[in-house]
Chain A
Amino acid sequence: DAKTTQPPSMDCAEGRAANLPCNHSTISGNEYVYWYRQIHSQGPQYIIHGLKNNETNEMASLIITEDRKSSTLILPHATLRDTAVYYCIKTYSGGYQKVTFGTGTKLQVIP
């Protein structure tokens, strides 16, 4: 069975970069890597996604390895508001966006 691996928890000092890793045991050529986060019990929030190139938006950067099985989400200057559970998901881009959540990484940003 395909498996996604993320560390269960990480700490990051406020103002520093947070680097959250993710590994997929398998990923097909047309599956994208998506990242979502959930702050406390709020609705999950989309962060970024990519296929094989590195991506950057106003929230984060995404680094994807050449075999696409590993990715790293980078929050360049973590703030206390970034404390959340971060989910790495693989899915197909476009239209149908069923999200299958795992257990994610609980990021604690420390003052």
Chain B
Amino acid sequence: EPEVTQTPSHQVTQMGQEVILRCVPISNHLYFYWYRQILGQKVEFLVSFYNNEISEKSEIFDDQFSVERPDGSNFTLKIRSTKLEDSAMYFCASSEDLVSNTEAFFGQGTRLTVV
């Protein structure tokens, strides 16, 4: 069964450092998403990406965040200068285009710990 894969599974970084979280969406999918979940809280939408540009973003997705599809398979989330409050699970998801009945497929997440 096709799946969304995320690397690394756990990333520890020092406050102020840049991190890049990587995702490989399902190959024929064209919509990509990032979500985050702070420990004990609900899953929050960050951003969606389609046709090489951001289609929607939440108020959480400020200037320190960016997304990129550097090649035909990867989808990345960059946090420029990490803060302690960026510590969370980050989930990547993808969905098909132009399909009447579809769903979002989520990866297993990257646990980001900012120290």
> A residues touching B (Cβ–Cβ < 8 Å)?
34, 38, 41-46, 49, 93-104
Interfacial chain B residues near A104, Cβ < 8 Å: 42
Structural contact, B45 and A94, CB atoms closer than 8 A:
no
Which secondary structure dominates where chain A touches chain B? loop
Closest 7 CB pairs of A and B: A43-B106, A97-B95, A46-B103, A97-B104, A101-B43, A44-B106, A94-B100
Structural contact, A41 and B48, CB atoms closer than 8 A:
no
Q: Closest chain B residue to A42 by CB distance?
A: B108
B window 55-98: CB within 8 A of A: 55-56, 89, 91, 93, 95-98
Structural contact, B109 and A95, CB atoms closer than 8 A:
no
Structural contact, A43 and B108, CB atoms closer than 8 A:
yes
Q: Closest chain B residue to A34 by CB distance?
A: B103
Which residue of B42, B43, B44, B102 contacts A97 across the interface (Cβ within 8 Å)?
A: B102
Q: How many residues of B contact A (CB 8 A)?
A: 33
B window 5-43: CB within 8 A of A: 30-31, 33, 35, 37, 42-43
Q: Closest chain A residue to B99 by CB distance?
A: A94
Interfacial chain B residues near A102, Cβ < 8 Å: 42
Q: A44-B43, A44-B106 are in contact. Are A98 and B98 (CB under 8 A)?
A: no
Q: A45-B106, A94-B100, A94-B102 are in contact. Are A99 and B45 (CB under 8 A)?
A: yes
A44–B35 alpha-carbon span in the complex (Å): 10
Q: Closest chain A residue to B47 by CB distance?
A: A98
Q: Closest chain A residue to B4 by CB distance?
A: A43
How far is the CB of A101 from the nearest CB of chain B, in Å? Answer: 4
A102–B45 alpha-carbon span in the complex (Å): 11
How far is the CB of A50 from the nearest CB of chain B, in Å? Answer: 10
